Amino acid sequence: MPRKLRFVIGVGLVMAAVAYLITTAIQSTSEYYLTVNEVRARESELMGQSLRVAGRVKPGTIRWDPATLTLEFTMMPLPKAEDGATVQPVAVGAPVLFDVIARGEPKPDMLADNRDVIVEGRLSTPARLEASQVLTKCPSKYVPDKKG
Amino acid sequence: MPLLGQLALALALILAIYSIPANLYGVDRGLPDLVASARHAIWAMCAMVTIAMLVLWTGLLRSDFSLEYVASYSSTTLPTIYKITALWGGQQGSLLFWTWLLSIFSAIVAWQNRRRNLEIAPWALAVMAGVAIFFLAMLNFVTRPFALLTNIPAQGTDLNPLLQNYWMAIHPPSLYTGYVSATVPFAFGAAALITRRLDDSWIRTTRRWAIFSWFFLTLGNLFGARWAYEVLGWGGYWAWDPVENAAFMPWLVMTAYLHSVMIQERKDMLKVWNLALIGMAFGLTLFGTFITRSGVISSVHSFTQSGLGPYFLGFLIGIAILYTALLLWRVNDLRTPAEFESYLSREAAFLFNNLVLIGIAFAVFWGTLFPVLSEAVRGVKITVGPPFFNRVVAPLALGLIFLMGAGPLIAWRRTTPRNLIQSFAAPVIFGVAAGLCAFAAGLHRWYALTAFSLAAFVLGTILVEFRRGVSARGHLVAEPPARALVNLVAKNNRRYGGYIIHIGVVFAFIGIVGSSFFKTEVKRSVKSGESFSVGPYDLRYTGLASRETPHVEIVRAKLIVTRDGREVATMSPAKLFYKAAQQPATDVAIRSTPVSDLYVVLAGFDEASATATFQVFLTPLVFWIWLGGFVMALGTVVAMWPNVRERAAIAATVRGRASDDRFAPEAASGGR
């Protein structure tokens, strides 16, 4: 029995170490994953926090300067069905949008009007997000713009 | 034509359903003819799914846009090779491909076991047929690959340009092969539980299948990483995206399984654990498909959300409940008197290796599911990104590498401290020396120093093991050392194949540490003729050139790379524009050496002024990841190679055992 107990302790220690690593790492690295609506509704409390925001590129708003690698665009909410947001926008009727600015990264190939994006970064002023990373969802199936 | 495919899939489903009662009733009542008929049904099922595959391939090659699948994932201008690989470019096609592999593996298992494992194999085949029924039902009723369009388009929407790459052509098939072949050991494990034949014969029978699965999971992960590195243009190869994690977790669990079955074979221990591991590995392959197809977890790769998610989840939960119940039902039969005797024993090293691997798998699982969990518990979606995974996995990986070096140096059962010092001395000196050299060379990050020292320690261990084996042979037979080495590996291919795999893992580990800790990045916007420097290299930009094909437009920049005034390379990164998909893509230029990779991205350009903006990464040691992958593959082939001695041993145990196995022919020829 004591021999068995010794092993139970050893196994327990390893498991505790894994659990400790997981909890501390979660505390120090977690980010809010929000939708455009949620960010706009809670922007004062979210200022300066590290965020991950899901939304869609508003058509005609992409500005890209290849010389300085500066990318700007406006993000709009995903259509209701795919959103799942529980927080309602503050002012009904007000456009729920915010600007995204990303500096120093190449423009993602998949970034285009109406594409779904996930933006990581911090709010610098309300309605303006300084992005450290712009991720475009890459659907395996294409639904190109019909007008094109 | 499409009708033929549809029909073949329907017949395949009927055959799979028929095979289950035929197999089970046949084995229960001792009716060999009925069992044979079930076997034939499985072969016929395999033929039917093959026909369906060929029909879809024909549709892709002929650009038959009346098929919805072809119209969505191909186009007339798509190069032929990608028309072939478009078969797994979309959901229906990949499920069909999956089912095809499963039916082939079932057919092979039916063939392999036509004269052996006569009690357990029908049950295993029934489990495999059960899984096949699920996939065939999906293909027949939920996500049909042969769905037709009423308005036939003139042109298809094309395969995603990101997938038009040779690594993407081979990554999914490798991964699927790894996923699907995990079904075989799982099915035999379940069959062993049902039939109560709980010795290690199910493990021995499926040992090669497990290694085969691991081999393809390894390749699948590496090809995926290589694809990300070459195609995505961000300078990295692994981002801990849910889709990557989904492929990584089964690999971790399979690795644990391959190690822990050795303890069962040797010491008759950990029976429950091994059965649990193979159940987990199989469950994770389904889970991987579930999270990538359901949209439950937002991934950068998130595929078109589809109705498949709930079915997969239901199937997964069903399997998990059934299998757990089965395991609990037999838990008393799985108790063994053997137990761990000492921390200083090989089995203890294996036990901790298992714990750490499963710990990593659990952390990855937790991190992947965290957004869902946090939303359910706290009502807020909180995600964890790469920093989380790196922080958790990095220290655990060090522990794992240490165990990889220590395990082979410790004897089974127990080791005396004196033996321990003796066997550890040389590898430890190796490791410490490497660490000191690295420190002297100016490497002062403690993690990297520890990592490189441990890597050298493991290599030292393996070297010692090979040397010991060769000199032991030298005492028995007189032969030159090179020949002794070859014979040594050939006679004990499983063990030395394993060591070769360890060498590959160490190489890959060195590559991962080097590239994660010492990467530098430079961004510059330059006019034609201007140059800039990255690390030891000078890059001179000499202009843009554009080219056009019916399929794609290409703008290529040219850079002349010099080092110490000597020209070493010309690099030409490009931007592509795929016309059918209306989609740009990046073509990265990479100059790879064992020391470091120079990785150049054409981030932006202005054709009028011929200015271009480059993003350049200098990433040390990435080369070793791919080399390590190659060595791992080589070692796996060595470990899988048929071994005459082992065959004879299996044949002997089979011969000496229960009456149902009439396995005499091979036993007679296999003995030496």
What are the tens digits of pLDDT across the range B531-589?
999 999 999 999 999 999 888 899 999 999 999 999 999 999 999 998 877 888 889 99
Q: For B363, what's the count of Cα atoms within 13 Å in the CB-facing half-sphere?
A: 34
CB B380 to CB A32 under 8 A? Answer: yes
Q: Are residues A37 and A82 in the same domain?
A: yes
Q: Angle B79-B83-B84 (CA atoms, 0-180°, nearest 5)? A: 120
Q: Are B107 and B180 in contact (CB under 8 A)?
A: no
For the segment B78-114, what is each residue's pLDDT rounded down to a tens digit? Answer: 899 999 999 988 888 989 999 999 999 999 999 999 9
Chain A positions in Cβ-Cβ contact with residue B523 (cut-off 8 Å): 69, 104
What pLDDT shows up at residue B653?
A: 60
B154 shares a domain with B59: yes
Q: Find the CATH number of the domain harbouring A128.
A: 2.40.50.140
Residues B555 and B434 in one domain: no
Å between B535 CA and nearest CA of chain A: 19
Average pLDDT over residues B356-384: 90
> Same structural domain for residues A70 and A116?
yes
Q: Taking CB atoms and an 8 Å limit, are A69 and B362 in contact across chains? A: no
Residue B193 lies in a domain: no
Quick check: is A142 in a domain? no
| Nearest residue, CB atoms, A138 vs list B160, B355, B613 | B160
Tens of pLDDT along A104-117? 888 888 888 888 88
Chains A–B, number of C-beta pairs less than 8 Å apart: 167
**Which of B518, B547, B563 corresponds to the end of one domain?**
B518
Q: Is the pLDDT of residue B474 over 80?
A: no
Domain count, chain B: 3
Please tell me the distance from the alpha carbon of residue B190 to that of residue B205, in angstroms, as a whole number: 13
B77, two tokens? 């201008």
Q: Are residues B152 and B72 in the same domain?
A: yes
Check CB contact under 8 Å for B525 and A67: yes
Cβ neighbours of B128 (radius 10 Å): 29
The last residue of a domain, from among B518, B541, B572: B518
B398-434 per-residue burial string, b: 16 or more CB within 10 A, e: under 16:
bbbbbbbbbbbbbeeebbeeeeeeebbebbbebbeeb
Kindly state whether residue B649 falls inside one of the protein's structural domains. Answer: no
SS3 of residue B598 by DSSP: strand
Whether residue B157 and residue A30 make contact (CB cut-off 8 A), yes or no, is no
Claim to verify: residue A24 and residue A60 sit in the same structural domain: no
Percentage of chain B beyond pLDDT 90 is 64
CB contact under 8 A, A3 and B371: no
* The CA-based dihedral angle spanning residues A45, B296, B166, B364, taken in that order and rounded to the nearest 10 degrees: 70
B456 and B540 share one domain: no
Contacts of A120 in chain B (CB under 8 A): 385
pLDDT at B272 over 60: yes
C-alpha B546/C-alpha B602 separation (Å) is: 13
Domain that holds residue B96: 1-160
Instruction: Map tokens 């390590």 to a residue.
Output: B628
In a domain, B543, yes or no: yes
For residues B96 and B35, membership in a common domain is answered with yes
Are B510 and B526 found together in one domain?
no
HSE, CB side, 13 Å, CA atoms: give it for residue B369: 14
* CA-closest candidate to residue B632, choices B168, B127, B217: B217
Q: Are residues A67 and A90 in the same domain?
A: yes
At A39 the pLDDT is: 83
How crowded is residue A70: how many other Cβ atoms within 10 Å of its Cβ? 15
Q: Which pLDDT belongs to residue B595?
A: 94
**Average pLDDT of chain B to the nearest whole number:** 89
Looking at residue B656, what is its pLDDT?
Answer: 52
This model of the complex carries an ipTM of 0.83
The alpha carbons of chain A give a radius of gyration, in whole angstroms, of 21
What pLDDT shows up at residue B321?
97
For chain A positions 44-83, those within 8 Å of chain B (CB to CB) are 52, 54, 64-69, 82
Substitution target in B97, B298, B335, B347 with the highest count of A β-carbons within 10 Å is B298
- pLDDT tens track for B41-58: 999 999 999 999 999 999
Any A CB within 8 A of B578 CB:
no
Q: Categorize the per-residue pLDDT at B652 as very low, low, confident or very high, splitting at 50, 70 and 90.
A: low
A26 & A87 share domain = no
For residues B142-164, give the mean pLDDT: 86
The pLDDT of residue B254 is above 60: yes
Asked whether residue B188 is assigned to any structural domain, the reply reads: no
CB B316 within 8 A of CB B291: no
Which phi and psi angles does A46 have, rounded to 5°?
-90, -5
Measured between beta carbons, the chain B residues lying within 8 angstroms of A65 are: 604
| A59 and A127 both lie in a single domain | yes
Q: Which of A134, A9, A30 is nearest to B392 (CA)?
A: A30
A56 and A124 share one domain: yes
- Residue to mutate among A52, A68, A109, with most B CBs inside 10 A, is A109
Chain A CB within 8 Å of residue B158 CB: yes
Rg (CA), chain B: 27
Q: Which residues of B touch A136 (CB under 8 A)?
A: 300
> Which element (helix H / strand E) includes B317?
helix B308-329
B188-203 mean pLDDT: 93
Distance from the Cα of A59 to chain B's closest Cα (Å) equals 16
Nearest to B604 among A24, A30, A66 (CB): A66
Residues A8 and A38 reside in one and the same domain: no
Q: How many domains does chain A contain in total?
A: 2
**Residue A79 and residue A6 share a domain:** no
B268 shares contact with chain A (CB less than 8 Å): no
What CATH number is attached to the domain comprising B566?
2.60.98
Amino acid at B557: A
Higher pLDDT, A46 or B390: B390
DSSP string, B152-190: --SS-----GGG-SHHHHHHHHHHHHHHHHTHHHHHHHH
CA angle in degrees (0–180, nearest 5) for B397-B400-B405? 130
Specify if B304 maps to a domain. no
**CB A86 to CB B379 under 8 A?**
yes
pLDDT for residue B647 is more than 70: no
Closest of B392, B395, B352 to residue B259, by C-alpha: B352
Supply the pLDDT for residue A143: 42
Asked if A40 and A62 sit in the same domain, the reply is: yes
- Phi, psi of B414, rounded to the nearest 5 degrees: -160, 160
Within-domain flag for A113: yes
Q: Give B661 to chain A, closest Cα distance, Å.
A: 38
State whether B525 and B476 are in the same domain: no
Query: Which residues does chain A have within 8 Å of residue B162's beta carbon, measured at their own beta carbons?
Result: 109, 138
A147 within a domain of the structure (yes/no): no
Q: What is the pLDDT of residue A94?
A: 54
My answer on whether B51 and B147 are in the same domain is: yes
Helical ranges in chain A per DSSP H: 2-29, 36-41, 43-46, 80-83
Confidence of residue B434 (pLDDT cuts 50, 70, 90): very high
Q: Which domain holds residue A50?
A: 31-136
Q: Is residue B566 part of a domain?
A: yes
User: In the prediction, which pLDDT does A34 show?
Assistant: 84
pLDDT above 50 for B127: yes
B269 φ/ψ angles, rounded to the nearest 5 degrees? -120, 175
pLDDT tens, residue by residue, A57-84: 888 899 988 888 899 999 888 775 444 4
With 80 as the cut, is the pLDDT of residue A55 above it?
Answer: yes
Give the gap in angstroms from C-alpha A28 to the nearest C-alpha of chain B. 8
Residue B662: band (very low, low, confident or very high) from pLDDT cuts 50, 70, 90:
very low
The pLDDT value given to residue B655:
56
Put simply, the answer to whether A14 touches B352 (Cβ < 8 Å) is yes
| Nearest-CA distance A92 → chain B (Å) | 22
Residue in B closest to A20 by C-alpha: B392
Q: How many CB atoms lie within 10 A of CB B542?
A: 16
Same domain for A52 and A99? yes
pLDDT at residue B287 above 70? Answer: yes
> Does B313 map to a domain?
no
Domain boundary among B129, B160, B191: B160
- Residues B483 and B613 occupy one common structural domain: no
Rounded Cα distance between B345 and B334, Å, is 23
**pLDDT score at A147:** 31
Q: How many Å lie between the alpha carbon of B490 and the closest alpha carbon of chain A?
A: 36
* Position A92 confidence tier, pLDDT thresholds 50, 70, 90: very low
Q: Do B142 and B29 have their domain in common?
A: yes
B651: pLDDT confidence band, cut at 50, 70 and 90?
Answer: low
Q: CA torsion angle for B522, B527, B528, B534 (degrees, to 10)?
A: -20
Question: pLDDT-based confidence at B299, cuts 50/70/90?
Answer: low
